[in-house]
Amino acid sequence: MHKLLRILFGAVAVVYLIIQVWFIWPEYGHKLIYRFTISPHKVLSRDIVLHRNKLYAGIDKQGNINYLSNGAWINTIAGIYAPYISLTNPMAEKKPDFERIVYNKFQTFKSGNDITAVTFSGYSRQHPDIRVNTVYRVFDSNTIMIHTRINTSKEGMLAWVGDRVKTNTRSILFYVPGVGDITTGPRDAISPQKPYMAILGRANQVIGFFYTGEQAPPYFFYEWNWLASMYQVKLGMKPFRFTRVVSTRSATGMDYRKLADSQYKNFLAVQSGLKITASSYSIITDYNKYAVYNVSVTNVGSRPEHITGLVLFAPKDITTSKPYTSISDTLSPGGTSVFAFKIKALNGGDFYLYPAIMVNGNYIEGPWTHVFSNGPGWYSADMHNHSVYSFNPEDYPVRDMTEAAHAKGLDILSLTDYNTFSQADACRAQSTPDFLCIPGEEIANPLWGHANAQFIHKRVPEFLSPQHWINDVHAQGGMFFVNHPYLEMREWRDWNFKGYNGIEVLNGNKIPMDPVNVKAFDKWDELNRSGLHLYGIADSDAHTPYAVGRYRNYVYATSFTPSAIEQGFKQGMFYVTNGPMLSFTINDQPMGSVIDLRKGQNLHIRAAYQPYDQAPENAPDLQKVMLFKDGYILASSNNSSIDYSYPADKSGFYRVEIFTNGGGFAASNPIWVDVK
């Protein structure tokens, strides 16, 4: 009897220990289980990956697109379910009964070393006689084409077929060029015209859906965060075919409506018979040096087209040899004309330009081209992310994370895996002339919380106290940030240690105004009021490619080198954002500065949400610019900027917050003013 009790007690103790390790101390539990069950460097084949240039798509075994790396779903879309079948009208059902497609065979087509297409073949689980064949193909560096064939042995079977999109939030805007924003309430339906593109996304992030070869299907919304398209058809032996194109785009500082309209115009240009292409999807150059930019116009239609002008639209930071060219050129079917421009970036950073041709009195826009310039300027960085080296079953290889970050327009990605620096070599190996991977470490201990060690050279042991962590990081010349101090089960336990460099005030697991992030902002202000000089940082905390870039920091650096980027962060010359861009100076001194003044001397504060590289009309719609002193509101404006002067009275710190429509948010780091 005693032996049995000991066995039962031991079993209960083991179960309790597993629960504690797995749920209470998740980093340790997941790492422990992972080390003993899965090779730490094995790439898990959960998804089939379409990959070419800068685009790849993760497609699961049910044929659902779970992510596209290039551009658009940053905290926006949970997945595209392509296709669906329903034998009842989804609009007539309170909760639509969508058929689950079971794919039992797939085949990939390769081009060189990259997979460029995959075919899924399968059947409906509820109605096995319905056969489905779907081909996913990379169309270009921004676009994936999905072609579906559906047939059945039962002639005349009435069905509804289409696609479903699931969003991660109820606040996502749906947009149709020429129509505007579409309400996303339950059962709201729209019947678009052909050709058609529905847009989902926020500022800087766009996903376009094109339907080709068939009339665009009606769309309807249900359960708040689902959007479904539907064709009503009769199935039979002859396959019903429909093709759609999913196109993504991300551009720094650009309003999503502008991006959506641009995509739509490009689509119309191809449909009308003219195709405009640029010499390169991305141009890499040093600032103040000329680069060559070619524009090609091809007549893919069946009749001659006469071109009378060509315009190159570029931001103020890009100069060009001839922004407008008056021409007279007739293109016969199949003909191509090439136009050459010389461009020069006046600053470092990321910029976008695009051409437009004049045909029959109308401009047809060409594709956006990304220009990366190495020089003094602002660079985007996401400084808290994970890879397979965190030893979680859900994590992805280093290359997947860095390629997703690069494709989404990030200049810098830091991989901060749990309690390890073993990812450092793999991370650095992914750096290119226009992208840096900087290794760091997320020090995680359930007794104290989580913290980021940045710009270090070796691992910081997690078993000692946070004061030892801080001392070790500083001994290596690095920076120490407290991560997500109020995130559930990962709270920071003690603020009495010395030597913090900053706080993660925006964590990618939560929206900006979530209490987790609001409390972090409040604590940041509280500590700075006590006399500290702490910086606020924003990070995605991504474990997957599609979560990279949810938040980012814009850091000013004299050049695009690891040492200059490190110096920009150490000087506090950076701000946090989920899209909008800002500028902020006091007496022409930048963020992070300490300004010494005598009492009564003038303070001249300038703050603006205007993007540095885009015209005002392209910026997201502003809600408010707010100026804070010591964490309390000093002034606010519904205009695009604040220009505020007053005599200095007391010492303090100043910072700025900006709100735009669609959930856009940005916040500066402080400028400290010491009044004698």
Q: For the chain, give the mean pLDDT.
A: 82
Q: In what order do the strands lie in the sheet with 180-182?
A: 101-111, 114-124, 130-140, 143-152, 240-250, 205-212, 197-201, 173-176, 180-182
| pLDDT band at residue 236 under the 50/70/90 scheme | very high
pLDDT at 16 over 80: no
Strands 48-52 and 130-140: unpaired
pLDDT at 211 over 80: yes
Q: Phi then psi for 261, rounded to 5 degrees?
A: -65, -40
> By CB neighbour count within 10 A (0-12 exposed, 13-18 middle, 19+ buried), where does 19 fall?
exposed
pLDDT at 405: 84
Which range, of 307-316, 379-388, 592-601, averages the lowest pLDDT? 307-316
Element (H, E) at 482: strand 479-482
Q: What is the mean pLDDT of residues 46-71?
A: 63
User: How big is the chain by its Cα radius of gyration, in Å?
Assistant: 27
Distant-in-sequence, close-in-space partners of 591: CB < 8 Å, separation ≥ 6: 572, 573, 574, 575, 584, 668, 669, 670, 671
Reported as a single tens digit per residue, the pLDDT across 522-549 is: 999 999 999 999 999 999 998 877 678 8
Which pTM value belongs to this model?
A: 0.80
Question: In the structure encoding, which two tokens stand for residue 365, read together?
Answer: 């826009």
Share of the chain above pLDDT 90, in %: 37
pLDDT at 559: 96
3-state class (DSSP) for residue 406: helix
d(C-alpha 630, C-alpha 90), whole Å: 54
Q: Phi then psi for 294, rounded to 5 degrees?
A: -105, 140
Reported as a single tens digit per residue, the pLDDT across 353-363 is: 888 888 877 77
Q: Which of 72, 123, 67, 77 is nearest to 100 (CA)?
A: 123
pLDDT at 430 over 90: yes
d(C-alpha 561, C-alpha 319), whole Å: 24
Query: What secondary structure, in 3-state letters, does 16-27 show?
Result: HHHHHHHHHCHH
Query: What secondary structure, in 3-state letters, does 216-247 show?
Result: CCCEEEECCCEEEECEEEEECCCCEEEEEEEE
Chain-centre distance for alpha carbon 573: 22
pLDDT at 621: 64
> By CB neighbour count within 10 A (0-12 exposed, 13-18 middle, 19+ buried), where does 554 fall?
buried
